[in-house]
């Protein structure tokens, strides 16, 4: 008899989502025991995600499932890069941008059932000063928001919107962007987003043309703008057309360096980082396997 594939689910039992307490039993009930040897591992603290993923690698898992939001997915993915072990996703977060890009159902039961028949896909990973990113990262305003939101008890889209509205007075900063050691842009930017996939979450698109398996990363630079220009920018964001705004510059490539005047916030998949004046952004093509919905 052929050996069953080992599937390990890592989840936070203290998440606010109602169905999380039922998750272990749902996984056991819905996953095909003819395909998988299933294990469900709860975390006790945030750092457990990395520890449990590394344990899953040692135990020769075939699929490691991140049950959580983009931050949990980021932590699991970072350890799975170049291992050949596939990342599965059960979206339980606020925005679920990465899951939405791959058409993973937000309904928990449907997401679990997809693990029975999902298609493996090789995708690129992005490294920001050697911090892994699989979806969207950023410098400037969206990094500032991620830093604030990490400590915000009000989660979900409503929490994001309220935080963003309160911070619209954020001041643009001076940046220089280099590609292949050549200066390609300098000036004051409200934010610089890094897109491997299409959206921040909640179907809010950062760059509709971003593809996670094309060997390229996208920098979306939103230049300093006036209060008069803000309504058009917000409308473009809601329409998924920020990259077409006249205040936006888009650069595509494999390696970039960004210089700024002071240390500050950066985010990778919504996870806040505090980095220095020089930020190196590189791509590692097709270095992660993901279980996708087609």
Architecture of the domain delimited by 5-125: 3-Layer(aba) Sandwich (3.40)
Both structure tokens of 52: 């449990």
- pTM surpassing 0.75? yes
Contacts of 263 (CB under 8 A, 6+ apart): 274, 275, 276, 277
Burial group, residue 138, by CB count within 10 angstroms (0-12, 13-18, 19+): buried
The 10s digit of each residue's pLDDT in 262-272 is: 999 999 999 99
pLDDT at position 149: 72
Cα(66)–Cα(269) distance, integer angstroms? 14
Q: What separation, in Å, do the N-terminal and C-terminal C-alpha atoms of the chain show?
A: 29
The 10s digit of each residue's pLDDT in 105-161 is: 999 999 999 999 878 999 999 999 999 999 999 999 999 988 887 666 555 566 667
The 10s digit of each residue's pLDDT in 38-60 is: 999 999 988 899 999 999 999 99
Cβ atoms of residues 219 and 176 within 8 Å: no
Q: Is the pLDDT of residue 17 over 70?
A: no
Q: What is the enclosing helix (H) or strand (E) of 61?
A: none
Backbone phi, psi, residue 102, to 5°: -95, 15
DSSP type of residue 21: G
Select from 2.40.50.140, 3.40.710.10, 3.40.190.170, 2.60.200.40 the CATH code of 131-284. 2.60.200.40
Q: Higher model confidence: residue 13 or residue 212?
A: 212
If you compute the radius of gyration of the chain from its CA atoms, what whole number of angstroms results? Answer: 19
- Classified as helix, coil or strand, 135 is coil
Domain ranges in the chain are 5-125, 131-284
pLDDT at position 88: 97
Q: Higher model confidence: residue 67 or residue 145?
A: 67
pLDDT at position 1: 46
């Amino acid at each position: 008899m052929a050996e069953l594939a080992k599937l390990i689910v890592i989840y936070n039992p203290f998440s606010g989502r109602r169905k999380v307490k039922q998750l272990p039993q749902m996984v056991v009930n819905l996953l095909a025991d003819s395909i998988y040897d299933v294990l469900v591992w709860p975390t006790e603290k945030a750092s457990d995600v990395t520890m449990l993923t590394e344990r899953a690698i040692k135990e020769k898992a075939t699929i490691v499932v991140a049950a959580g939001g983009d931050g949990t997915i980021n932590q699991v993915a970072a350890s799975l890069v170049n291992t050949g072990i596939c990342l599965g996703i059960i979206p339980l977060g606020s925005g679920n941008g990465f899951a939405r890009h791959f058409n993973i159902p937000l309904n928990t039961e449907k997401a679990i059932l997809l693990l029975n028949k999902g298609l493996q896909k090789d995708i690129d990973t992005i490294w920001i000063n050697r911090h892994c990113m699989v979806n969207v990262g950023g410098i400037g305003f969206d990094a500032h928001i991620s830093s604030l939101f990490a400590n915000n008890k009000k989660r979900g889209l409503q929490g994001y919107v309220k935080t963003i509205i309160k911070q619209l007075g954020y001041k643009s900063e001076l940046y220089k962007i280099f590609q292949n050691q050549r200066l390609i842009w300098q000036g004051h930017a409200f934010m610089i987003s890094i897109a491997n996939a299409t959206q921040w979450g909640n179907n809010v698109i950062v760059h509709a043309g971003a593809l996670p398996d094309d060997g390229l990363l996208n920098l979306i630079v939103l230049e300093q703008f006036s209060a008069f220009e803000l309504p058009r920018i917000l409308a473009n964001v809601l329409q998924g057309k920020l990259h077409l705004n006249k205040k936006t510059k888009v650069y595509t490539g494999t390696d970039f360096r960004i210089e700024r005047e002071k240390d500050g916030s950066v985010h990778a998949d919504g996870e806040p980082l505090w980095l220095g004046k020089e930020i190196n952004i590189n791509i590692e093509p097709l270095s992660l396997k993901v279980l996708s919905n087609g």
